[in-house]
Amino acid sequence: MLVCGHFKKKNLICYFYISTTNTGFSSIFEQKKLSLQNILKTFCGVMYRISKQFSFSASHILKHLPEDHPCARMHGHNYRIVVHLKSQTLDDYGFVKDYKTLNTVRQFIDETLDHRHLNDCMDCPPTAENIARFLYERFKPEIPELYAVEVSETPNTTCIYEP
C-alpha cells in the first residue's frame, strides 16, 4: 500500500510518503513499528470531536453602531452557545471529556450571562463574536480540549471563534 499526502501543523505544511509492504513499513517508520493509523493520527490531526450546547437569554446594546442601526437600540436574544472539544486520545472511561464536567460552563452562563444586560457583563461590545471569544478565553485554561466556541443570536446566524 502507498499513502501520500500533506498536512498543516502550526503554519508548517509537511508532505509525506509512506510505502508499506506485507512485512511492514519500508519507510523511516519501520524502525519505530508504528501502525499506519497511529502515523496518520499523529501527523494528520485529531480523531475525536465532541460538542455540548447551552442557552441563555440576555439583552444588549451595540453602542458603537450608528444611531439608525437596529442593534444600536436595546434589544435581546435567546442565545445558543456550543462548546467544541477535540482530542487525539480518549480518557480511561472512553471520553474526550465527560459531558458532566462541562457543567461549569452551564453554571457560569447561568450566574453571569443569563437574564442579564451583557453590556454590564463584558468589557467590550457584546457582539456574538466577542461573546464567543469571551467564553473561549474564560474556559480554555480549565478545559484544554476546548478548540472553538459557537454563538448564535438567532436561528439564522452563527459565529464561531476558533483561534
Active centre residues (catalytic):
71, 115, 153
Long-range residue pairs from 16-25, CB within 8 A, at least 24 positions apart, any chain: 16/43
Under a CB-based contact definition with an 8 Å cutoff, are residues 1 and 20 in contact? yes
**Rounded CA separation 27/30 (Å):** 6
> Under a CB-based contact definition with an 8 Å cutoff, are residues 69 and 62 in contact?
yes
Q: How far lies 77's CA from each of 13, 118, 124, 128, in Å?
A: 41, 11, 18, 10
Distance CA 62, CA 74 (A): 8
